[in-house]
Amino acid sequence: MKVLLISLGLSSVVMANTVADADLNLWQITYRAETSFADGYTIEGQSNSFEGSFQYDGTDLFSIEGVVDPKSLSSGISSRDKSIVKIIFTDEEGNVPTLAFESEEVRGCEDVEEFRVCDVAGRFKVRNEWQPMDLKINLSEYGNQTWVNVSGEVSLAQYDFYERADAQIKVVDKVTFVVDLLSDEAME
């Protein structure tokens, strides 16, 4: 069985005992959260920071992990972004640890149109605290590249940040996100 390990940002590929270089580039990270500031007001943003890896043999996804610097999240309003980093992502010692995801179980993969769609159970880290998280992973060839589309939702209430938040800044509990990645080589 050929197992492909692509390090996102680190750009290495391992197939069986053969090692070759291939880049996997961050295409985009987007997120969306409705706020309690005004009815229907939504914060949308993006990031250009990502490092991680996954193991996939063209049929089965074995694992996926990733890391994002929370300071790279941008809604386009720097004062709001600084407040969010302070309230949500800064730990008790004043540090801003990376956000991270680690898969624990791939519950299954199936073909849906031109995609290989996998349901993944894992854990997500905010302020060095791990909580359960499920992801939907879509894998597909994109020209001569492999496209990896990751979508999920984080429940901020799990991390008890509301106790440090100003009532005017609070967001609704759920933040949805999408991470799109492209490799330089197609799966074989």
Whether residue 5 is predicted with pLDDT greater than 70 in this model: the reply is no
Helix, strand or coil for residue 20? strand
C-alpha span between 102 and 53 (Å, rounded): 10
The distance between the two most distant Cα atoms of the chain, rounded to a whole number of Å, is 56
Pairing of strands 174-183, 145-155: antiparallel
Structure tokens at 33: 């959260």
- Using the structure block, give the residue that is written with the tokens 């999240």: 73
- Residue 38 CB burial class (10 angstroms; 0-12, 13-18, ≥19): exposed
Which carries the bigger pLDDT value, residue 11 or residue 74? 74
pLDDT in tens, 95-153: 999 999 999 999 999 999 999 999 999 999 999 999 999 999 999 987 777 788 999 99
pLDDT in tens, 162-175: 666 666 555 667 88
* % pLDDT > 90, the chain: 36
Whether residue 36 is predicted with pLDDT greater than 80 in this model: the reply is no
Nearest to 71 by CA among 45, 93, 33, 53: 45
Identify the pLDDT of residue 117: 97
- What is the set of domains in the chain, with CATH numbers? 25-50+70-183 (2.40.128.110)
Identify the pLDDT of residue 123: 97
